[in-house]
Structure 1
Amino acid sequence: MMKAKVSIDKFVVEYTDVPRSAYYALVGKAVKSGELFKQKFYHEGYGYQLHLRKGNGAYLHVFYRNWSEPKGVSYTLRLETRPEYYFQFKEVLDTLRRNASGINFVSCDIAYDVRTSMDNVMVIPHDGRRKLREYKGTRYFGKKHQRKTNGHCKIYNKRLELLENQNKVIDHELTRIENVHKPEKRIPLAELLQYPPEQNDDYLAAVITDWGTLPKKRAEQARMLMKVEESKNVSPYIRKKVKETLAHPYQIDFNELAREAWEPLLEELCGVLLGQQEPQVQERQLQMAVTNTVYDEPQEENDSKNVGCVDIGKYRILRDNTRVRKLLNQQRMTGLFGLEKRTIDTWPILFSSA
């Protein structure tokens, strides 16, 4: 089985029943602290959007009030950022948790890194309607407007991306396969570790480092599937035969990789979002994943990749008692209704001072 390192990129959660006053207070604090980078208002999707940014580059996207929700005094609030950045916005997380009736997982991007060039990495969708696209050297399955939908996939040269965006040089080829994981139903964050993603149903991924081991004709057909125009001429029958040939021993098992990495990657993050523990690392490197899980690599190599990381041990994720939390929240909100008119009146002032 091919070696791969698994990490989580963007991580999205939703807070239910967040009062408007709590949202306005968040805006006011962001303006006062200088963290309010950008604010927008839309007439579709989420109406209010804030983009917070700290001086070290850590960011947090905030989306409030989905227009599909009925008019009321509280609405859904969504957060989106990289896992390591959540730890730097702990005050925001604590405030939202105290004012919300629940926290649900929405989606995340799961990255699988393999030490080889893109020419050796092949991804074939099981759904023939997912067409291959290419833009600036990156291969995509899924259209641009489907970027946040389940199963959207992109394959790109991670070595080049590190060099261009971070000026970081690595001495080996590195290709990243990045898949969006977005369950059909919201998963309570307290239960998330019980539900690792299963992405083998969406794609067959394979790494062929020695193309000479494949029959010549099959190798030609496989290479055709990696090119946008030529892939259009490959029949469903040939596509099926290529997948059968690559299923063993070239396949990357997404399900097994994600299952092994899921808890180590997300355990600490879920604990902080749920208020069940304090961050164990006071200041995180901005590009560091929550943890590094290396599949099928010697233990000593795995250890060397985690130098400087903290061993946080294990703790229990408690189940959310939504009913009790909602009752307590309603009692809290009673005292907030008197502030509603005042916060609405100050809303234009907050925006004009940004």
Structure 2
Amino acid sequence: MKAKVSIDKFVVEYTDVTIGAYYGLVLRAAKNGELYKQTICHGDGYSHELHLKKANGAYLHVFYRNWREPEGSKYIMRLEARPEYYFHFKGVLDRLRHAASGIYYVNCDLAYDVQASMKDVMVFPNDGRRKMRHYKGTRYFGEKHQRKTNGYCRNYNKRLELLENQNVVIDYEQTRIEIVDKPKHRIPLAELLHHPPEQNKHYFAAVITDWDSLPKKRAEQARQLRDGVEIEKKKDWYTRKVVKETLAPSYQIDFNELAREAWEPLLEELCGVLLGQQKPQVQERPLQMAVTKTVYDSSPTEHDNKNKGCADFGK
């Protein structure tokens, strides 16, 4: 079963960035009118956060000096944004590239969109310990504090989300499965195209186009897994096994195959810009991702709720 693939968020880290380079970034952003918010945080995570924003809506979140790093004069700087927004901060990227000792891929949110209703899309984790929870029609696999961990998943009605959040109307059903890819070890950005995510090990997913073709008992088991119904522990493993065997030949969404096909088209240009290997034509590039035969992106939604527990030093 085919799905269209996009990247909703992309995170990279620059190593050995000096304090002077960080404050130079702050001053240039303020001078250019791009400094949306600067904060100093007290607690876990990063001690400095910087949020840049262009007049056209493109944003860049900057996090500097992880609390786990030893005292020194050089620290990690993390950048987080939608992939297409990086192209609008080429000056920042060029300066950071020269200031850092290396650039590494940290994680991304990989989204799989299918033209089907939520009632026909089934996603369940291969690990029975990962439970589903529901909130406002979205199915979550993982707790809130696990939002940035590998394998965290959201499954929701993308058509409804576009309408409610962006006032965008599409005339067909669309369901999104969004899974976090976060390798155990950071990958040098220059090698990233050789490391497409493998997410079949985390989840089994299927789009069931003809429920009546399934045996009655199997259809009921599939609906229970789809809805996250608690199944007796001793039966849970067997239920997952037989549902997979029934649905895989005709209905399975193969995350690994889709990711392999989409990975290079989605990231080749972005990696080139981050590594300084090509010059993006920003004026001719709309705020959306490049399209391939099985890859497309939705309209962007900005996420800027990263300032809890921070001391705000103004815009």
TM-score for the superposition, normalised by structure 1: 0.81
Identity in percent: 69
In structure 2, C-alpha distance between the alignment counterparts of 1:353 and 1:102, rounded to whole Å: 31
Q: Which residue of 1 aligns with 2:24?
A: 25
| Corresponding letter in the other structure for 1:285 | P
CA contact (8 A) 1:6 1:292 kept: no
- Rg comparison, structure with higher value: 1
Alignment of 1:219-258 (within 5 A): 219-228=219-228, 230-233=229-232, 235-258=236-259
Residues 134/158 of structure 1: CA separation in 2 closer, same or farther (3 Å cut): same
Amino acid at match of 2:149: T
Equivalence for 1:54 = 54
| 1:190 pairs with 2:190 | yes
* 1:202-351 correspondence to structure 2 within 5 Å: 202-228=202-228, 230-233=229-232, 235-286=236-287, 288-294=288-294
Task: Give the AA of the match of 1:4.
Answer: A
Partner of 1:96: 96
Distance of 1:280 and 1:260 partners within structure 2: 25
Give, as a single letter, the amino acid of the residue that structure 2 aligns with 1:83. Answer: P
Aligned counterparts of 1:12 and 1:244: Cα–Cα separation in 2: 36
Task: Letter of the 2:64 partner, please give it.
Answer: Y
Supply the distance in 2 between the matched residues of 1:293 and 1:109 (Cα, whole angstroms): 20
- The one-letter code sitting in structure 1 at the alignment partner of 2:242 is K
Q: Which runs of 5+ in 1 are unaligned?
A: 296-304, 307-350
Cα distance in structure 2, aligned partners of 1:205 and 1:48: 39
Which residue is equivalent to 2:114? 114
SS of equivalent to 2:249: coil
Q: Distance in 2 between matches of 1:247 and 1:231?
A: 22
Aligned to 2:10: 11
Q: Deviations over 1:299-337 (max 9, x none)?
A: xxxxxx89xxxxxxxxxxxxxxxxxxxxxxxxxxxxxxx
* In structure 2, distance between residues paired with 1:221 and 1:132: 16
- Tell me by how many angstroms 1:251 deviates: 0.6
Number of residue pairs matched? Answer: 298
How far, CA to CA, are the matches of 1:246 and 1:176 in structure 2? 19
RMSD: 1.7
Change (3 A) 1:89 1:236: same
Q: Which amino acid aligns with 2:180?
A: V
CA 1:293 to 1:24, structure 2 compared with 1: closer, same or farther past 3 Å? Answer: farther
Contact kept, 8 Å, 2:52 with 2:59, in 1: the verdict is yes
